[in-house]
Homo-oligomer: A and B are copies of this chain.
Amino acid sequence: MDRSEKDRVKIFDTTLRDGEQSPGISLGKHEKLEIAQQLARLGADVIEAGFPITSPGDFEAVQAIARGVHGPVICGLARTSVQDIDAAWNAVKDSERPRIHTFIATSDIHIERKLQTTREDVKGQARAAVAHAKRYTDDVEFSPEDGSRSDVEFMAEVIQIAIDEGATTINVPDTVGYTMPDEYAEMWRRLYALLPELAGVTTSVHCHNDLGLAVANSFAGVTAGARQVECAVNGIGERAGNASLEEIVMLLHTRESSVGVWTAVDTHEIARTSRLVSRLTGYPVQPNKAIVGRNAFAHEAGIHQDGVLKERTTYEIMDATTIGLEANSIVLGKHSGRHALRKALEELGFQVEGAALNTAFKRFKEIADKKKKVTALDLEAIVSDEMKQVPAAIELESFDIEASSARSPLARVRVRMPGGEVESGSFTGDGPVDAFFSAINAAVGREARLKEYHVSAVTGGRDALGEVTVLLELGGRLASGVGVSTDILEASGKAYLRALSNAIPDDAVAEAERVLEREVKETSAP
């Protein structure tokens, strides 16, 4: 197909910024870096890596991505204040292609109720922010927050100011997920009519899914002329989330000949990207989710419809191989060596060397002893699981659990503290998991409270790896952890200990971060 650059739609991924603002997601620096590396393999044009002013942790993660991830533009979010923009710049400046993304609300409801200021002040803030960002970099994006509910003429004035000051991308978000496709397209048509200068910048859409229309609205924006779509893997994000990256990409891919626009995404990386994000965030993907749900491709779900057998296209408009569902058939067994493991991991896109390879090999052997075949999915789970390790982790030494219908379950545990000392605890609880977690609390001497507990299987069958996600609260701080094992109780204990380790950083830093995070999250955005 004849593809021209003007018909190319850039994919701006905000999994690590808007996605990471979802309740209960708390990604560490290494996890964010791993996701960013995968987004680069996927071919995302822009990675919004975080909101650097919100916490030292966020700043460091954005910086690590700016330094370590090559290819995509690396973008940091900032409100209009000098401090925000300075933090964003300092975080992204080591990237080969840094971008600052600054925003301020233009809807009257946000201006009056949230910002408690005036339209004139908003104009002034937008002007100052873009001008300040422009001093650092040529690549500046500006978003009028709650754009879809803004008075279009006033919003156009603000956008005009941003363009005059040098903004190179203009993104109009549907912040609250309120608009409808025709309405959003009409808004764009009015903006193009009011602002001929829009022809000289990249126009961008950012749609939320509150009414189930995020992808359709994004698509309507593209049809109206936008050439950047802000989206997140698995559609995660504030409330009902953002437009799903995989849905917008596969929509444009599948209907390219009708629509006439294209993306540079390597669709074969979609399935793996989805699994990685689901695993590291602890956010499951429902079976009936478009593109990446377990059932999205009928024959993946084990159904062999007569129609499909006779002619695939009678019921399938996409091929599972296109999103990488059947891309690799790696299978290792208990006799596979270190070299085979390393080669398999490389094929999966993981560069694992030295001590990390030793650890991965040890885990692989443990799993291979229990499962006859270790598949690509199992390897991904093992490696991602190892990546969840936090530096000062409390480790599970041993456990004994007795569960019976005749009496309350009893758990005994021994844990190794970061300093090396071994502590033990025991507890009799309502259920074996409850007893296990309470015994860990007793051993560690902390009163963490379980908020959420989720179990899923990595692959099918009796010897499947179980993946347990735990969300707990300790002193007002939420922290999550994931554990993987063929033993659901062992996976639970590991997940709980990792969450607990995440929840116990240096306490003063933790408190400062918490206050700052709350303050900035209050602004949400965009």
A-side residues, CB < 8 A to B, are 22-24, 109-110, 113-114, 146, 175-178, 180-183, 209-213, 215-216, 219-220, 223, 234-241, 244, 247-248, 250-251, 254-255, 258-259, 283-291, 293, 295-298, 301-303, 305-307, 310-311, 313-318, 370-371, 396-406, 409, 429-434, 437-438, 449-457, 460-464, 466, 485-490, 521-524
Contacts and interface: CB of A to CB of B under 8 A. Distances in A.
A212 B244 contact: yes
B113 A432 contact: no
Contacts of A399: 403-405
A403 B401 contact: yes
A315 B175 CA distance: 8
Contacts of A209: 288, 290
Count copies of this chain in the complex: 2
Contact of A301 (B23, B211, B313, B404): B23
A455 B432 CA distance: 14
B110 A314 contact: yes
Nearest to A310: B113
A485 B408 CA distance: 13
17 contacts: A22-B295, A113-B314, A180-B255, A181-B219, A209-B290, A210-B291, A211-B247, A213-B251, A234-B288, A236-B288, A240-B289, A283-B288, A307-B522, A400-B404, A402-B402, A449-B462, A454-B457
A236 B296 CA distance: 11
Contacts of A244: 212
The CB with the most chain B CB atoms within 10 A, among A236, A238, A455, A485, is that of A455
A468 to B, nearest CB: 8
A295 B240 contact: yes
B462 A306 contact: no
Nearest to A241: B288
Contacts of A250: 211
Given A238-B298, A286-B285, A404 B401 contact: yes
Contact of A284 (B284, B295, B316): B284
B211 A489 contact: no
Contacts of A398: 404-406
A146 B316 CA distance: 12
Given A286-B286, A307-B524, A399-B404, 14 more contacts: A23-B302, A113-B311, A177-B317, A181-B181, A211-B250, A212-B244, A239-B301, A240-B290, A285-B286, A306-B523, A398-B406, A450-B461, A452-B457, A488-B488
A314 B526 CA distance: 12
A315 to B, nearest CB: 6
A210 to B, nearest CB: 6
A230 to B, nearest CB: 15
Contact of A524 (B305, B313, B455, B462): B305
Contacts of A238: 298
A113 B178 CA distance: 42
